[in-house]
Amino acid sequence: MEKIIVLDFGGQYNQLIARRVRECNVYCEVKPYTMPMEELKAMKPSGIIFTGGPNSVYDENSPHYDPAILDLGIPILGICYGSQLIAWMAGGKVDTAPVSEYGHTEITVKQDSALFRGVMEKTVVWMSHTDYIAIVPKGYRVTATTENCPVAAMECAEKKIYATQFHPEVMHTVMGMQMLRAFAIDICGCKGDWKMGSFAEESIKQLREKIGGGKVLCALSGGVDSSVAAVLLSKAVGKQLTCVFVDHGLLRKNEGDEVEKVFGPEGPYELNFIRVNAAERYYEKLKGVEEPEQKRKIIGEEFIRIFEEEARKIGSVDYLVQGTIYPDVIESGLGDSAVIKSHHNVGGLPDVVDFKEIIEPLRMLFKDEVRKVGLELGIPEYLVFRQPFPGPGLGIRIIGEVTAEKVRIVQEADAIFREEIGKEAEKFAEEMRERRRMAPESKVVRALTQIYKDKMTSRFVPPWMPDQYFAALTNMRSVGVMGDFRTYDYAVALRAVQTSDFMTAECSALPHELLFRITSRIVNEVKGVNRVMWDMTFKPPGTIELE
């Protein structure tokens, strides 16, 4: 299988680079820069990408690599620190600028460079650096410049070695995808026929080899990630897999039964399914606990304890599967990046775990990639496109102490919110279908179809459709009036965000009519609520969940 390897020198965008290459339909994986060159060669990559990194090439402790890599005849693209590393290894000169260059920058490119084929002469890129290439090595030529940066890109076309000081992988680099595609397809000569289906196939094969006759326990939450992980495992080892679904009493309304319907004995998959109803146990543990990280820790640990108990009932279990995906990994702090929230399925594992090893088959994927895998595996669309739900569930959507009564309030408010969004989205889709029926040839209708038709599902999706939306219970009570009576009830917070990778998010522009309708239904129908508040904060500075 043709592949490109991203050698990670500590940059913050390493997985993003890999993901962008996969978007070009070329398989791509990240490997640490400590991987010996012989091993790297044995992987027979069609190309290699050096990532950025926080270091300076002249520091002794900086990540370096065997300069012989430049003579392997494998195309290389160096990005940011990676570009400086190439200059340094090949005998050029890297300097430290008095001030850092950070943000959007206009560059002028040499359009005859294979990397910039089809790129406009002047284009905007994303820069983030202090060091820069001052003198290019012998045999190299400068292929892009900016006002402050004499070598924004360089190349040795003969050896197929390319370097950019800027980051083609981030969205702010307008023609970045074009450049990465030029590298993967034109320069590395990849065919670009890889699909997420191949990832699924390959993973199933690898999982089968790794697990052999071993027993596997999967932590199934019913969310997209763990469902895709479970189906992957079910296809790999069938009944060797036991899925434990812990209903911690912190799920959305009716969710426990819905999960059971799909993965239980009535469902289409071959696996052993165990549902543990543990609501009381969780509420007891969470009594009096207000601090979000402590709640996460308790919920995460309780999960593991329950798995251990179930595993003991099954006998020996060799592997524990988790649906960790890439954004979970970085936000829980990888290497030097800061810990923002300890997502329980990564950070909060207790020291004593009764399993040989944890398997995380989706660890390198972003959410939308997980969905593609799900579709390739034939998982029903309603499951694949289910909005993400955090492992600690409503536990982190109830600010402060969790009680059964508060859970009921959030569940009911949330169900109304979801029902109304669903109805409004369906109304929009129906209107679009109607327009198409009425005027199939109209240019306007065709343009609208282009904009609003979801590529993955072929459904019409309104422009305001949030990627994640939910009710949370603020711990605040306020005075209201209902009939002739004073009320002193809870305020529910509603949040709806649009995001492509959950690392940043924008508040969805829901139609006002819809906001009014939802607000009115919640205060009228949910006992204990007399006020609804809309959280319109972006991420950053807010996070998606309130805790």
371 binds ligand XMP (CB under 6 A): no
> Which residue type is seen at 357?
E
Among 229, 231, 502, 518, binds ligand XMP (CB under 6 A): 502
Please report how close the Cβ of residue 166 comes to ligand XMP at its closest, in angstroms.
27
Backbone angles phi, psi at 378, to 5 degrees: 80, 20
Name which of residues 166 to 195 contact ligand XMP (CB under 6 A).
none
Write b or e for each residue in 520-534: b if 16 or more Cβ atoms lie within 10 A of its Cβ, otherwise e. ebbbeebebbbbbee
The runs of H, that is alpha helices, within 275-384 are: 279-286, 292-314, 326-331, 367-376, 381-384
Whole-number Å distance between alpha carbons of 306 and 21: 40
Query: Which CB sits closer to ligand XMP, 82 or 466?
Result: 466
Query: Which helix (DSSP H) or strand (DSSP E) does residue 247 occupy?
Result: strand 241-247
The region of 78-86, 384-392, 425-433, 440-448 touching ligand XMP under the rule CB under 6 A is 384-392
- List all residues 6 or more positions away from 309 whose beta carbon is below 8 Å from its beta carbon: none
Name which of residues 410 to 469 contact ligand XMP (CB under 6 A).
468
Q: Is 169 a catalytic residue?
A: yes
47 binds ligand XMP (CB under 6 A): no
- Look up tokens 């000169």; give the residue: 93
If you write DSSP's letter for every residue of 99-152 in order, what string do you get? Answer: EEEEEEEEEEE-TTSGGGTT--SEEEEEEEEEEEEEEPPTT-EEEEE-SS-S-S
460, β-bridge pairs: 453
Query: Which CB sits closer to ligand XMP, 136 or 364?
Result: 364
63 binds ligand XMP (CB under 6 A): no
Other CB atoms closer than 10 Å to residue 354's CB: what's the count? 14
Query: Which CB sits closer to ligand XMP, 51 or 322?
Result: 322
Helix (H) and strand (E) counts in the chain: 15, 18
Whole-number Å distance between alpha carbons of 303 and 394: 15
Binding-site string for ligand XMP from residue 317 to residue 336, where x marks contact by CB under 6 A and - marks none? --------------x-----
Query: Which CB sits closer to ligand XMP, 128 or 468?
Result: 468
Torsion over CA: 381, 385, 386, 388 (sign): positive
Please report how close the Cβ of residue 240 comes to ligand XMP at its closest, in angstroms.
25
Please report how close the Cβ of residue 343 comes to ligand XMP at its closest, in angstroms.
4
Q: Is 293 a catalytic residue?
A: no
Whole-number Å distance between alpha carbons of 214 and 101: 53
539 binds ligand XMP (CB under 6 A): yes
480 binds ligand XMP (CB under 6 A): no
Among 47, 256, 390, 466, binds ligand XMP (CB under 6 A): 390
Please report how close the Cβ of residue 545 comes to ligand XMP at its closest, in angstroms.
3
Specify the pairing of strand 357-359 against strand 485-498.
unpaired
Among 3, 129, 343, 531, binds ligand XMP (CB under 6 A): 343
544 binds ligand XMP (CB under 6 A): yes
392 binds ligand XMP (CB under 6 A): yes
Other CB atoms closer than 10 Å to residue 111's CB: what's the count? 12
Given the residues 80, 149, 190, 218, the one annotated as active site:
80
Binding-site string for ligand XMP from residue 273 to residue 302, where x marks contact by CB under 6 A and - marks none? -----------------------x------
Query: Which CB sits closer to ligand XMP, 498 or 543?
Result: 543
388 binds ligand XMP (CB under 6 A): yes
Please report how close the Cβ of residue 312 comes to ligand XMP at its closest, in angstroms.
25
Backbone angles phi, psi at 295, to 5 degrees: -60, -45
Given the residues 24, 28, 155, 169, the one annotated as active site:
169
Geometric angle at alpha carbon 185, from 374 and 207, rounded to 5°: 35
Given the residues 167, 248, 343, 344, the one annotated as active site:
167
Among 341, 371, 406, 495, binds ligand XMP (CB under 6 A): 341
**CA distances (Å), origin 401, targets 184, 228, 268, 396, 481:** 52, 32, 39, 10, 26
Query: Which CB sits closer to ligand XMP, 366 or 460?
Result: 366
Among 22, 167, 248, 344, binds ligand XMP (CB under 6 A): 344
If you write DSSP's letter for every residue of 447-510 in order, what string do you get? Answer: HHHHHHB-TTT--B--TT--SEEEEEEEEEEEEEEETTEEEEEEEEEEEEEE-SSSSSBEE---
347 binds ligand XMP (CB under 6 A): no
The region of 13-21, 25-33, 204-212, 383-391 touching ligand XMP under the rule CB under 6 A is 383-391
252 binds ligand XMP (CB under 6 A): no
535 binds ligand XMP (CB under 6 A): no
Whole-number Å distance between alpha carbons of 522 and 420: 11
248 binds ligand XMP (CB under 6 A): no
**Residue 80, SS3 per DSSP:** coil
Q: How many residues bind ligand XMP (CB under 6 A)?
A: 16
Whole-number Å distance between alpha carbons of 307 and 276: 10
Query: Which CB sits closer to ligand XMP, 324 or 530?
Result: 324
Specify the pairing of strand 93-109 against strand 357-359.
unpaired
The region of 34-42, 343-351, 354-362, 450-458 touching ligand XMP under the rule CB under 6 A is 343-351
For binding to ligand XMP (CB under 6 A), which residues are involved? Answer: 296, 331, 341, 343-345, 388, 390-392, 468, 502, 539, 543-545
Report the catalytic residues. 80, 167, 169
